[in-house]
């Protein structure tokens, strides 16, 4: 008798449909990312810049007439300069009796601020003198390494959170929630540690504050990973994938890394301080260039993302416990 050979299963219409659907979804995601990045970065135009100005009233009034500038008048050059260092202004302009316009800029938006300063000086018949009071490092002259560090930590954190859902299991019991939380915390520390060593010792870009940079990246990874985990636990895989897609498509572009927030459109400016990417970049820049000034808001935003995600996971786990199920049945029976 001839040996029977197993016949490989035929490809089913359902498999073909699922593959075609996956191809369409991934293609749409790529197209959305291209459109989002192009809309945010392709044609950078000054939209809104906060300027501290110490100058004659006539010059201040002329600047206030420019719709893209938000002008804060101050009494002297030191006050104007301090507002930049405190991250309350993007640049400072100080008119001198000698016919010079001192333009104080800071890393991250220095190029755009310098252009504004030169334009104002030309219009007022003054000679611009540009000073970068929060310069970038030699290893990161464009000031974009913090942006790329945040973007790729974001990818690692979101993919890792999804993978842990497969490896550890869905969050249905307190023990699983505890394991997922510890796993995510350790993974976030690993990501933050490796990236910190690389951008500091490897690139010489974000230097001088290794522990602060590590802490910021760890918190950021927890914010992204915690959000994905919490949404998945509370609302399911599809909801978690939707959140991830939003963060990748809108969040990355709203971080404004390559161009700076003053050059973003109103849509992306709105999300800049909401999405974790914008807060992650802002927190790293506060640490690296501004001695921690302006760090409170992005720190609080990342904390909200992280704690909300973990709270959603904890609530979903509680609602699925047998004890809560029995309580719900008792209440239902009494009704």
In a domain, 42, yes or no: no
Q: Residue 34 corresponds to which tokens in the numbers above?
A: 């291209």
More confident residue, 215 or 147: 215
Looking at residue 282, the DSSP 8-state letter turns out to be: H
Residues 126 and 155 in one domain: no
Range of the domain at 95: 49-134
The verdict on residue 178 lying in a domain is yes
d(CA 82, CA 65): 24
Q: Is the pLDDT of residue 184 over 90?
A: no
Among 29-43, 86-100, 178-192, which stretch is predicted with the lowest mean pLDDT? 29-43
Domain end (from 109, 134, 159): 134
- pLDDT digit string, tens, across residues 298-325: 999 999 999 999 899 888 887 776 555 5
| End-of-domain residue from the set 79, 107, 134 | 134
Is 32 within a domain?
Answer: no
- In this predicted structure, which of 40-44, 47-51, 273-277, 290-294 has the lowest mean pLDDT? 40-44
Q: How far, in Å, CA of 304 to CA of 324, rounded?
A: 27
pLDDT at 46 over 90: no
Q: What is the pLDDT of residues 134-168, one digit of tens each?
A: 888 888 887 888 888 998 898 888 888 877 777 76
Rounded average pLDDT over 282-298: 92
Question: Same domain for 304 and 187?
Answer: yes
Domain count, the chain: 2
- Domain assignment present for residue 139? The answer is no
Residue 331 lies in a domain: no
Mark whether 166 and 90 lie in a shared domain. Answer: no
Residue 327 reports pLDDT greater than 60: no
Domain boundary among 80, 106, 134: 134
Q: Are residues 129 and 257 in the same domain?
A: no
pLDDT at 34 over 80: no
Per the CB < 8 A criterion, the answer to whether 166 and 160 are in contact is no
Judgement on whether residues 203 and 289 belong to the same structural domain of the protein:
yes
The answer on 165 and 295 residing in a single domain is yes
């Amino acid at each position: 008798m001839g040996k029977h050979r197993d016949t490989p299963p035929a490809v089913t219409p359902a498999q073909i449909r699922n593959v075609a659907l996956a191809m369409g979804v991934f293609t749409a995601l790529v197209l959305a990312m291209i459109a989002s990045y192009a809309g945010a970065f392709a044609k950078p135009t000054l939209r809104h810049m906060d300027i501290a100005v110490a100058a004659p009233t006539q010059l201040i009034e002329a600047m206030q007439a420019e719709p893209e500038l938000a002008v804060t008048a101050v009494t002297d050059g030191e006050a104007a300069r301090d507002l930049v260092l405190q991250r309350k202004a993007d640049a400072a302009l100080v008119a001198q009796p000698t016919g010079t316009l001192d333009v104080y800029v800071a890393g991250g938006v220095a190029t755009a601020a310098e252009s504004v300063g030169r334009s104002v000086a030309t219009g007022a018949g003054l000679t611009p003198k540009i000073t970068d009071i929060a310069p970038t490092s030699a290893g990161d002259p464009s000031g974009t390494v913090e942006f790329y560090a945040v973007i790729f930590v974001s990818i690692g954190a979101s993919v890792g959170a999804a993978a842990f859902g497969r490896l550890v299991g869905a969050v249905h019991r307190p023990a699983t929630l505890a394991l997922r939380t510890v796993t995510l915390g350790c993974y976030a520390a690993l990501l933050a540690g490796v990236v910190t060593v690389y951008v500091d010792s490897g690139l010489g870009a974000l230097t001088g504050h290794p522990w602060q940079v590590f802490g910021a990246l760890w918190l950021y990874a927890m914010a992204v990973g915690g959000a994905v985990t919490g949404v998945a636990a509370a609302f399911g895989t599809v909801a978690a994938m939707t959140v991830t897609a939003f963060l990748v498509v809108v969040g990355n572009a709203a971080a404004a890394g390559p161009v700076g927030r003053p050059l973003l459109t109103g849509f992306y400016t709105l999300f800049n301080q909401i999405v974790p990417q914008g807060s992650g970049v802002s927190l790293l820049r506060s640490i690296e260039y501004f001695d921690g000034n302006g760090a409170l808001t992005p720190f609080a935003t990342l904390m909200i993302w992280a704690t909300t995600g973990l709270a959603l996971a904890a609530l979903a786990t509680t609602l699925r416990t047998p004890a809560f199920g029995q309580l719900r049945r008792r209440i239902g029976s009494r009704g």
